[in-house]
Structures are given as C-alpha cells and as structure tokens.
C-alpha cells in the first residue's frame, strides 16, 4: 500500500507582499485561498497526510483572523482523516512563547491527535496510519526552536528500518540547492547528511524555488505556496506524492496560487515614436501574458530596455505610475509594474545645445573633447594606473558617449 501525501512548504501566511496596496490586500487573501485549495485537494483525494516543511506563517505578523483560518484548515484535514505533520522553520519557530506554540494544536482529542507540530531540534518519528488503521508511512522530522537556527538538524537524523516508506521532513538550506544563496543559511545541511539516511523521500522547505537539488537523491523543495513579488514568478503550489518503499519517488506538481507573478523583458521599442505607440505596444504584450495565465490573476513586471523616442514619457515617476495604471486597466492584469532603468531616449541633442543652459555648455564641452584630444586631456583625471598617454586618451574617448547619456539622464530625468 503506498503512502500518499501532499508536500507543502513556505506558506508564509500574511507575509509582506509586494506591489501596490490593492495588490497586497489581494495577496493576503490569495494565500489563504491557496491553502484552502490544498486542503480541499487532500480531502478530495483522501490522502494519508499533508506535510508542511516550515514557515507556515511570518511569526510577528500573523493576525488572529489568519491564525484562526490556518487552524481551521488543519482541523478540516484532521476531521477528514488526513494527518498533518508540520515542522517549524525560521519564520514560525516553535520555542516556548512563540506563536506556533500558542496555536492550541497540542492535545489528544479527536482532531488534534492527527496534527503533529515538530517544534524542537530533536528529531521525532511519527507513524502515519491509513484509513483502515494500518501504518502506511513513517515521517522523521525536526523543527526550529528559534528564528535563527544555525545547527545542522539533518545530522541528528538516523536511519529507520521499516516496511513502509520513510520520509524526512525539515526546513533547511541544502548546500548546492539552486537559489539557496537568496535565503539565510538556517539549519544548513549537505547532500551527504541526507544520503546516508536512505529515506525514500525528503520533504524540504526554506528555498522558494521548486526543484530537486540532486537528480539522484529523492529530495525536493516544493517552493512557496503563493508568489509574493516579481522575483517569485510562475505557478506556485505543492507536490503530490504517491510513495512506495524502495521505489523511486515521482512527485507531481499541483498549482494552488490564484495570483501569479510574471516578468517580461521588452527590448524592441525602437518603433514606438510616441507615448500612445508605447502604450499600445505594451498593452498587446500585457494582454498576451494575462491570457496565458488563464483563470489566474496576474501581476506583471515589464522591464523596458534599449532606446525609444517615447522614453521621455516615462522619465517622471508620476508619469510612470499613470502609465502603469493605464496598462493595468487596458490589459486586465491585477497590476502592471514598469522598470525603466535600462530604457533610453533618442534625443535631439542639437536642440538642447541651442538653448542656453548648464546642460548646453556641458554638451558643448563633450563635443569639443571628441574632436580635440587636448581638450579631453585637460578635463580628464591626471593618472589612470597602467595606461600610457595614447591608451589613456583612447580609453577616455570610448567613455564619452556614456558620459553624454549619463549627463542627459541626470539633467532631464526625474530623480525619483
């Protein structure tokens, strides 16, 4: 009989979401919707367990409303015959007085006995019973007692002899995992720490990128449950696992997040001669991304690069904000954000030179420096280490176009 479970991690209920205020409000609700969808699936599939590998919430931020919604979901699972095993992470540590310890999940009454919260660093072994009362799997796990657990908790685990599948549950940064550098190295471990245990599956949390760190080791990060900002793009959800002892694991990703984040780099803007051209072009791109998201809401970041005659329409922060609002309304996205750091205008410099100003004088000086190396030498630093006179002037000449672009940006663009 297989051990059937749903592997979740990094729910981060009520976290600090990115985006505009309306987007943040929507995401606070969306993460609860995602959790409810995960609970619904576990009940519909009559799974044996839901394993949550840490960071169910952000400890200092959890409201009473969210706390009650979370406990209500766990109770629904328990009353539906699904066991929950939850290990604490750095955001939801299990030490005395911490929020996780105060949720009221400990007890032996009918529904609480199916909820196991691993709050301590010492590993616990939990037998998971199927609906007929027979043991279908074993979970070995440990939790973070504090929000800065620096010990290698995986090194405390020991091999388990069992006729049923054995799963390790831990919130950890595995050395060599993709995207691990973006997270604090809490409860760090290595491939060797996991490999020698010989477990059938390692249900990990902490790294928000869904992936298998090592192709030949049955360890997985499911990623977080709901994307929080433009760096957490794509589908978010959990891993559905049907595990047989001694056989390779083949987890199946199940999306739960109702809101997706997406990033698009837009390079071909040379044909956009006006703000209206730019708006129409970007609206077409945004609509296509919204359509690709299907029935999920979309938060979209457009990264504009290259040159365009319409770039001036986005120099001022107020103009960018208004432009993004127009794109949001026209595309049907939940929110559209613009990043224009690498977008530059095709400016008529001759017109700028014709108007008396400090900018005109600076542009004239740069033009003289292009034509006369004597002028260039007179305004350049006296010493560039390792360069002779000829190489020095050649190097400085190559910088002049960049200097002009920087000068125009500093004088014409909004500092905000």
Asked whether the beta carbons of 129 and 85 are under 8 A apart, the reply is no
Q: What is the pLDDT of residues 300-353, one digit of tens each?
A: 999 999 988 888 889 888 999 999 999 999 999 999 999 998 998 766 667 677
Mean pLDDT, the chain, whole residue set? 91
- Contacts for 127 with CB less than 8 Å, ≥ 6 apart: 135, 137, 138
What does the pLDDT look like over 100-136, one tens digit per residue?
999 999 888 889 999 999 999 999 999 999 999 999 9
**Section 194-218 average pLDDT:** 96
What would the DSSP string read from start to end of 134-183? -EEEEEEE---SSTT--S-SGGG------SS-EEEEEE--BTT-TTGGGS
pLDDT tens per residue across span 42-88: 999 999 999 999 999 987 778 999 999 999 999 999 999 999 999 99
Residue 212 has pLDDT above 80, yes or no: yes
CB 134 within 8 A of CB 160: no
pLDDT at residue 385 in the model:
46
Q: What pLDDT does residue 405 have?
A: 63
Location of structure tokens 């950890």: 172
What is the pLDDT at residue 351? 67
Rounded distance between C-alpha atoms, residue 265 and residue 263, angstroms: 7
Strand partners, 117: 86
- Asked whether residue 91 carries a pLDDT value surpassing 50, the answer given is yes
Fold type of domain 3-257: Purple Acid Phosphatase; chain A, domain 2 (3.60.21)
Question: What is the pTM for the complete model shown?
Answer: 0.84
* Three-class secondary structure of residue 399 per DSSP: helix
* pLDDT band, very low/low/confident/very high, at 254 (cuts 50, 70, 90): very high
Q: Among residues 310, 306, 411, which one has the least CA distance to residue 363? A: 411
Q: Determine how many CB atoms are found less than 10 A away from the CB of residue 214.
A: 15
Is the Cβ–Cβ distance between 206 and 171 less than 8 Å? Answer: yes
Torsion, Cα of 84, 88, 92, 96 (10° steps): 110
Question: Within a 13 Å sphere around the CA of 411, how many CA atoms are in the beta-carbon half?
Answer: 16
Name every residue whose Cβ is closer than 8 Å to that of residue 399 and which is 6 or more positions away in sequence.
Answer: none
Backbone φ and ψ of 187, nearest 5°: 45, 50
SS3 304: strand
Q: What is the pLDDT of residues 285-303, one digit of tens each?
A: 999 999 999 999 999 999 9
The answer to whether 143 and 56 are in contact (CB under 8 A) is: no
Round to the nearest angstrom and report the end-to-end CA distance of the chain. 62
What are the residues facing 307 on neighbouring strands? 344
What pLDDT, on a 0 to 100 scale, did the predictor assign at position 255? 98
- Cβ(228)–Cβ(27) below 8 Å: yes
Contact 244, 232 (CB under 8 A): no
The answer to whether residue 386 scores a pLDDT higher than 60 is: no
- Residue 109 is predicted with a pLDDT of 85
Let me know how many helices (H) and strands (E) the chain has, helices first. 9, 14
For the chain, the domains span 3-257, 260-345, 349-412
């Amino acid at each position: 009989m297989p051990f059937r479970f749903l592997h979740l991690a990094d729910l981060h209920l009520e976290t600090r979401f990115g985006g505009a205020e309306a987007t943040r409000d929507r995401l606070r609700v969306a993460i609860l919707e995602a959790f409810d969808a995960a609970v619904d699936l576990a009940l519909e599939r009559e799974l044996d367990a839901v394993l949550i590998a840490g960071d169910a919430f952000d400890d200092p931020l959890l409201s009473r409303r969210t706390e009650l919604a979370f406990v209500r979901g766990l109770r629904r699972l328990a009353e539906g015959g699904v066991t929950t095993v939850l290990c604490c992470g750095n955001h939801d540590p299990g030490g005395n007085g911490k929020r996780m310890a105060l949720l009221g999940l400990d007890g032996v009454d009918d529904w609480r006995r199916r909820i196991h919260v691993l709050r301590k660093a010492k590993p616990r072994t939990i037998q998971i019973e199927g609906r007929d009362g027979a043991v279908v799997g074993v979970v070995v796990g440990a939790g973070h007692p504090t929000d800065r657990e620096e010990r290698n908790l995986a090194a405390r685990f020991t091999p388990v002899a069992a006729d049923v599948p054995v799963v390790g549950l831990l919130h950890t940064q595995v050395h060599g995992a993709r995207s691990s550098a973006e997270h604090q190295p809490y409860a760090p471990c290595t491939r060797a720490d996991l490999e020698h245990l010989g477990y059938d599956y390692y249900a990990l949390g902490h790294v928000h990128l869904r992936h298998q760190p090592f192709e030949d080791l049955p360890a997985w990060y499911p990623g977080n449950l709901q994307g929080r900002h433009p760096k957490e793009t794509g589908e978010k959800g959990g891993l559905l696992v049907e595990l047989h002892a001694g056989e390779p694991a083949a987890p199946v990703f199940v999306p739960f997040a109702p809101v997706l984040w997406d990033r698009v780099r837009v390079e071909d803007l040379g044909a956009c001669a006006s703000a209206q051209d730019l708006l129409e072009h970007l609206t077409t791109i945004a609509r296509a991304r919204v359509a690709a998201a299907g029935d999920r809401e979309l938060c979209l970041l457009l990264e504009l690069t290259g040159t365009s005659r319409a770039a001036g329409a986005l120099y001022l922060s107020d103009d960018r904000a208004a432009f993004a609002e127009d794109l949001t309304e026209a595309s049907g996205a939940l929110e559209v954000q613009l990043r224009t750091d690498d977008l530059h205008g095709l400016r008529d410099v001759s017109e700028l030179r014709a108007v008396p100003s400090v900018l005109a004088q600076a542009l004239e000086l740069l033009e003289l420096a292009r034509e006369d190396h004597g002028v260039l030498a007179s305004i350049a630093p006296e010493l560039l280490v390792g360069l002779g006179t000829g190489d020095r002037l050649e190097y400085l000449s190559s910088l002049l176009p960049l200097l002009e672009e920087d000068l125009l940006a500093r004088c014409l663009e909004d500092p905000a």
